[in-house]
Amino acid sequence: MSSVDFTWLIGGPQGSGVESGANIFSRVCAEMGYQVFGKREFYSNIKGEHSYFAVRISDQKIHSNVNDVTLMASFDAETIFRHYDEVISGGGIIYDSALEDVTTDKVHTLDAPFRERLHKELESKNKPFSIAGVLEIAKEKGVKLFPVSFKAILEALAEETENPRLKGLVRMFNVIGVSLSLGLVKMPPDSLQKTIGTIFSKKQEIAKINQQTANYSYNYATAKFDEFNYSLTGIQKEPGTLLVQGFQGTALGKMACGCRVQPYYPITPASDESVFLESNEILEIIDDRPGSTAVIQTEDEICAMGMTIGSALTGTRSATCTSGPGFALMTEMLGWAGINEVPVVITNYQRSGPSTGLPTRHGQDDLLFSVFAGHGDFPKIVYASGDVEESFYDTGNVFNYADVFQVPVIHLMDKFIASSVVTCKRFDPSKITINRGKLLDKVEDGYERFAFTEDGISPRSRLGIDNGIFWDTGDESDEKGHITEDPILRVKMMDKRMSRLDLILQEIPDVEKVVSFGIEDYTVITWGSSKGPIIDAIEMLKKEGISIGLVQIKLLHPFPGEYVASLLKDAKTIIDVEANHSAQLGKLFKQNVQRDIDYSILKYTGRAMTSTEVYDSLKKIVENKANKREVLMHGA
């Protein structure tokens, strides 16, 4: 069986249509039955800096990107300078021939450290500091070059369609790049035409110009380009396949599980989720009138969190969505939600810290911060999803946890998931159960919001219902919710709230706490999005007869220490893999499982792990050639 594993990369200045080019390519591949795993990298910038999209496609289920690029489409010089060395021998580079003479000093967005490294490399190979220079290196390595004048294509197309406006339409460069690529790999052209039609369905005129450009470029490639080693002619499509962006899992999960208020403050990479929710604010409800989500853009994250809590007090399922810097601002209120036992969900799409850090780049930086967020002791849940498909169902679960245990829940997501575009199985909303816990619809006389009960959870009234009056306060309070400083009552109240941590560990099913992919002598522990590259790396090693186990911990606070310890009792070597500097999960593990981590594989370049580099490090560990702390560096 010849298996397909192909990575296509498109790059260009921010704002030049790299993303829509990648969307077209991804959608065509998905339509033709392939599994897609695409990831977007971009600067904190609106226009001009380098952004790129790497789309990996396969006939097997894939969970990550790899180091190798099979085909690169570039219409600007910077993409070639930055990525030429990722293209494999036998792979190809389609590029605008007008770029050949461009020298490194003409590309102002090449930052100094990168330029220095590039010059060193070119010098060592005795090549000029130009596109011609780097392409020579690629060619010597065995990469096939496909030069084409993008301008000439537009001119010829303008003449053919009698539309002189097309001649200067450099906006079309992305579609040209996509179509040349698809022509080169012999992807059936109908799917390209259909996809463009779908993407621009609301703009007929634009769809038409794009379709003409695509058609011309596609034919150009099939007619003019030399033979290429790779062809992608389509496979049987799996029915019920979605092509989703990473942030859509939590957004759709929120719609399905009844989150009806989401205040938020704009921040990368979290805002997309809120914008998507607002774009779909009116909801169809089965056998009922339409519902809606109030998505409120606030003045800051503090207000977002305050509104979320205020809304939750009315009995409405409420959430906010943010990233590390925003979450930092919410922590005082997190404690208020904790002491007042208010169920709220904070979806944290983590990015690289500290401070502003790498604002548009990936990092799993906020685990320990989330576990310890807020002053004083109060119960909360920290829960992490490993991919977009999981995040849909997990969103349903975390709202149930919040309601049942009456605690704030921090749902950890990250930039890697947020800006990836992947194929996955269609979400099934009938699997979203709704459990509101002890939320009351009716209240009898003599109600006390914080009454002591056997399980430590009091029936919960909501603002606006008859006889349900309660008081909340950030101070310690009595059963009614009035301020108290009585030492005995203080202890009772504190014990009541904190007893919930044990209850959470008791009540949440093990399968929702931890996912075990098998235990071996060498077993990896991880959390969140690092799961994908690890699964693929383990698969690669398996083909070589090396078995590695994997345990993905989803409930991170309270930490299921005993359960994790029992799962791992037969594992001889524990390897912690995560995307931060200090091996945060490793620290939690050691604290809660009382066992040492043997190896850490860490990445904090701000770029997501590839399965290639995880594979390399795991192999080194098995061969006893690894450092205790392996640091991954791949990616532009």
Partner 1 sequence: MALKMADFKTDVHNDWCPGCGDFGIVNAIQMALAEMGLERDKTAIFSGIGCSGKTSHYINTYGVHTLHGRVLTFAQGAKIANPEMTIVAVGGDGDGLGIGAGHFVAAGRRNVNMTYIIFDNGVYGLTKGQASPTLKLGEQTKSLPSPNTNYNVNPIGLAVASGFTFVARGYSYDVRHLKDLIIQAVNHKGLSFLDVLQPCPTYNDLNTRDWYAGTDLMDEAQKRHSRIYKLEDHGYDPVVHFNEEAEVNERLTQALIKSLEWGNKIPTGVFYKNEIITPYTVRLRDKVPNYLENPPAKQNISKNGISNTDISHILDSLEV
Show contacts with partner 1 in window 264-283 (CB under 8 A): 280-283
β-strand partners of 629: 600
Cβ at position 96, least distance to partner 1 in Å:
30
Distance of alpha carbon 153 from alpha carbon 149, whole angstroms:
6
Size of site (CB under 8 A) for partner 1: 83
Q: Which stretch binds partner 1 (CB under 8 A): 477-485, 493-501, 582-590, 625-633?
A: 477-485
Distance of alpha carbon 559 from alpha carbon 508, whole angstroms:
12
Q: Which stretch binds partner 1 (CB under 8 A): 40-48, 258-266, 345-353, 613-621?
A: 258-266
Considering only residues 9 to 68 of the shown chain, the ones binding partner 1 according to CB under 8 A are 27, 30-31
471 lines the binding site for partner 1 (CB under 8 A): yes
Q: Is the dihedral of CA 201, 204, 206, 211 positive or negative?
A: positive
512 lines the binding site for partner 1 (CB under 8 A): no
Q: Which is nearer to partner 1, 4 or 145 (by Cβ)?
A: 4
3-state secondary structure 296-362: EECCCHHHHHHHHHHHHCCCCEEEEEECHHHHHHHHHHHHHHHHCCCCCEEEEEECECCCCCECCCC
Cβ at position 465, least distance to partner 1 in Å:
7
482 lines the binding site for partner 1 (CB under 8 A): yes
218 lines the binding site for partner 1 (CB under 8 A): no
Q: Which stretch binds partner 1 (CB under 8 A): 42-50, 321-329, 467-475, 519-527?
A: 467-475
CB 263 within 8 A of CB 304: yes
Distance of alpha carbon 143 from alpha carbon 90, whole angstroms:
5
Q: How far is CA 67 from CA 8, 64, 129, 627, 634, in A?
A: 11, 10, 24, 21, 7
Provide the mask over 433-462, with x wherever binding to partner 1 is found by CB under 8 A and - wherever it is not.
xxx--------------------------x
243 lines the binding site for partner 1 (CB under 8 A): yes
330 lines the binding site for partner 1 (CB under 8 A): no
465 lines the binding site for partner 1 (CB under 8 A): yes
Considering only residues 114 to 133 of the shown chain, the ones binding partner 1 according to CB under 8 A are none
Distance of alpha carbon 150 from alpha carbon 148, whole angstroms:
6
Copy the structure tokens of residue 623.
């061969």
Q: Which is nearer to partner 1, 465 or 505 (by Cβ)?
A: 465
Provide the mask over 411-430, with x wherever binding to partner 1 is found by CB under 8 A and - wherever it is not.
------------x--xx-xx
328 contact partners, CB below 8 Å, separation of at least 6 = 369
Answer for which of 50, 260, 513, 554 binds partner 1 (CB under 8 A) is 260
Cβ at position 251, least distance to partner 1 in Å:
9
Helix axes 500-507, 487-498, angle to 10 degrees: 20
Q: Which stretch binds partner 1 (CB under 8 A): 147-155, 329-337, 358-366, 408-416?
A: 329-337
Q: Which is nearer to partner 1, 59 or 539 (by Cβ)?
A: 59
CB 99 within 8 A of CB 120: no
| DSSP alpha helix (H) spans, 514-560 | 531-543
Q: Is the dihedral of CA 213, 219, 221, 225 positive or negative?
A: negative
Q: Which is nearer to partner 1, 333 or 535 (by Cβ)?
A: 333
Q: Which of 171, 146, 170, 158 is nearest to 212 (CA)?
A: 158
256 lines the binding site for partner 1 (CB under 8 A): yes
β-strand partners of 497: none
Answer for which of 180, 196, 313, 626 binds partner 1 (CB under 8 A) is 313
Q: Which of 94, 84, 83 is nearest to 177 (CA)?
A: 94
Considering only residues 290 to 309 of the shown chain, the ones binding partner 1 according to CB under 8 A are 290-294, 296, 298-300, 302-303, 305-309
318 lines the binding site for partner 1 (CB under 8 A): yes
Q: Which is nearer to partner 1, 344 or 548 (by Cβ)?
A: 344
Q: Which stretch binds partner 1 (CB under 8 A): 47-55, 224-232, 260-268, 539-547?
A: 260-268
* H or E element in which residue 264 lies: strand 259-264
481 lines the binding site for partner 1 (CB under 8 A): yes
